[in-house]
């Protein structure tokens, strides 16, 4: 991570043993371990914050793109208002444009379980 080699760590460990002494070395190592843990925790929290900001920016960009595409589609295919949903203004009520009559939606649905329905 920092470019510290095994030999360098050994030199630091021997220097710590000579300077701190064998009696206080475990306490010093625990203290250093806590500091390293705290620094890692702060770094993790910082990275999580940066990731959250990036996700939010990506979501805003996607939402903007979606709004633009939706506006384009709505401009290309304007809604035709009629009394019967599912029919367009140029198709007469009850016909699908091919001269065949359509049944209302509630009559089309066969309410029997699938095993009891007639095969086509």
Q: Is residue 103 part of a domain?
A: no
| Cβ atoms < 10 Å from Cβ of 92 | 10
Identify the pLDDT of residue 63.
94
Q: Is residue 31 part of a domain?
A: yes
20: β partners: none
Enclosing domain of residue 33:
23-77
Domain count, the chain: 1
pTM above 0.85, yes or no: no
3-class DSSP state of 117: coil
pLDDT, averaged in runs of 10, over the chain (120 residues): 79 89 90 94 96 94 94 84 52 52 56 73
Q: Is residue 63 part of a domain?
A: yes
Nearest 5°: CA angle at 88, between 83 and 93?
60
Q: Is residue 90 part of a domain?
A: no
Q: Is residue 50 part of a domain?
A: yes
95: β partners: 101
């Amino acid at each position: 991570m920092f470019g510290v080699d095994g030999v360098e760590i050994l030199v630091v460990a021997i220097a710590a043993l000579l300077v701190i002494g064998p009696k206080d070395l475990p306490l010093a190592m625990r203290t250093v371990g806590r500091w390293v843990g705290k620094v890692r925790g702060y770094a993790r929290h910082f990275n999580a914050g940066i990731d959250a900001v990036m996700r939010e920016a990506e979501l805003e960009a996607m939402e903007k793109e979606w709004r633009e595409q939706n506006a384009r589609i709505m401009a290309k295919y304007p809604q035709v208002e009629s009394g019967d949903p599912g029919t367009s203004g140029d198709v007469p009520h009850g016909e699908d444009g091919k001269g065949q009559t359509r049944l209302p939606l509630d009559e089309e649905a066969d309410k029997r379980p699938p095993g009891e329905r007639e095969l086509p």
